[in-house]
Amino acid sequence: MSDESKNEKEIIIDEDWKSRVEAEKEELRKKEGGASDSAEAGSAAAGEKAVPLPPPTLSFLTSSLYLQGMIALGLLPNPATNEAEANFDQARHTIDMLAMLQEKTQGNRSPEESDELEHTLHELRMAFVTLQENPPPSSASPGEDE
């Protein structure tokens, strides 16, 4: 009979746990409305508006790497410093990453994705070669080229 009472206690404890979890969930649901409002207010106070993230696509990844390459080439300002700074090692690495992506996704891309990837690689490679041959005066610092 002691086994039965032990089982009953376990069931009671289990039921108690379930009711606590349900109560916590309900509490969170109530707070969610206020929390999202306060998060939006905090973002608005900071001058930011919540922007949804784009879907994770090959096109988005290609565009992200393209922007990283353009920043590394010094053709776009670095968002951290707001200055155009060339880093050819980083640019070469980004180009190599795109080339690897192109190789590894061969046969699994749509024609549009293939065109975008090919165009992006071509543009970054041409800019890299051009800037290696004729670096702008501000990026000609020792140790940054090959």
pLDDT at residue 146 in the model: 41
pLDDT at residue 33 in the model: 64
Pick out the chain residues at pLDDT < 70.
1-19, 21, 33-48, 137-146
d(CA 108, CA 110): 7
pLDDT at residue 141 in the model: 46
d(CA 63, CA 76): 14
Report if pTM > 0.75: no
**Residue where the block lists tokens 């649901």:** 29
pLDDT at residue 7 in the model: 53
C-alpha dist (Å) from residue 1 to 5, 7, 129: 7, 10, 85
